[in-house]
Amino acid sequence: MTNTTFSAHPLNLFKNQKLNSVFEKNCHPFVHLFLFNSLSFIANNMISLIFKRAVFGRFIAW
């Protein structure tokens, strides 16, 4: 039990099996770019909404 726990950590198993097999083999680079662009687009929209509420919150009740 001790040898298996020290030789194979959960993080290493997660990195090697999950990320490599699922993302690199099954997904194309276009899927990576699409997911990254969608997440960045949502993040930019949230930041702009928070900024607008911080600036125009005094005049307009959101």
pLDDT mean over 40-45: 85
The domain limits of the chain are 2-56
Tell me the pLDDT tens digit for each residue of 52-62. Answer: 877 777 665 55
In a 13 Å sphere around the CA of 15, the CA atoms on its Cβ side amount to: 5
Considering 2-6, 33-37, 40-44, the range whose residues carry the highest mean pLDDT is 40-44
Between 31 and 46, the higher pLDDT residue: 46
Dist. CA 46–CA 20, nearest whole Å: 31
Residue 38 predicted with pLDDT over 70: yes
Dist. CA 16–CA 57, nearest whole Å: 47
Dist. CA 60–CA 58, nearest whole Å: 6
Tell me, what's the pLDDT at 43?
85
